[in-house]
Amino acid sequence: KHSVTHQRQRLCHWRFGTTHAAIEYTTFLSRSTSTTDKLNEPRFDAGYKIFCERTIRQRLIVNQEVLRMSQLTRSFSDLVKQHEGVDASNYRQETLKRRLTHDFPQLMFQFPSKRKICELVFVEMLSTEKLIDRL
């Protein structure tokens, strides 16, 4: 009863002939790529700055609108295309959400009880009555 890592090392030792090569190979296999993916993701800083000013500050914070996360992602992608001339349609929703939660802690992200509706984003100060009215 050996751990999976130990079993991989034994298999790699048999395959590569040395323990050192086996350990390097199993380390490579078990390494998470999410950290390197995050570092290599394009940030689109110019488009993000415009997006934050027009959409987040004006629409969500000042006008207290309620928007879907998919709308925000699409709006961000459109602004990047318009101002940076780069296609950002593959920019991940969770990456945008991570940036927004860091830069705007007053934003709330809420999944409605109906799973067919996308995650809603609104400012924390929005009252329940206003929230219901704006849906």
Amino acid making up residue 45? D
Q: Compute the distance between CA of residue 116 and CA of residue 132 in angstroms, rounded to an integer.
A: 17
Q: List per-residue pLDDT tens for the chain, 135 residues long.
A: 556 566 555 555 555 565 555 555 555 555 554 544 455 667 899 999 999 999 999 999 999 999 999 999 999 999 999 999 999 999 999 999 999 999 999 999 988 776 677 888 888 776 555 555 555
Q: Do the Cβ atoms of 66 and 77 come closer than 8 Å?
A: no
Amino acid making up residue 133? D
The pLDDT of residue 44: 93
Closest CA to 41 of 1, 100, 99: 99
Q: What is the pTM of this model?
A: 0.63
Q: Compute the distance between CA of residue 25 and CA of residue 30 in angstroms, rounded to an integer.
A: 9
Q: Do the Cβ atoms of 101 and 109 come closer than 8 Å?
A: yes
Domain ranges, ordered by start, for the chain: 4-31, 45-134
The pLDDT of residue 55: 96
The pLDDT of residue 36: 43
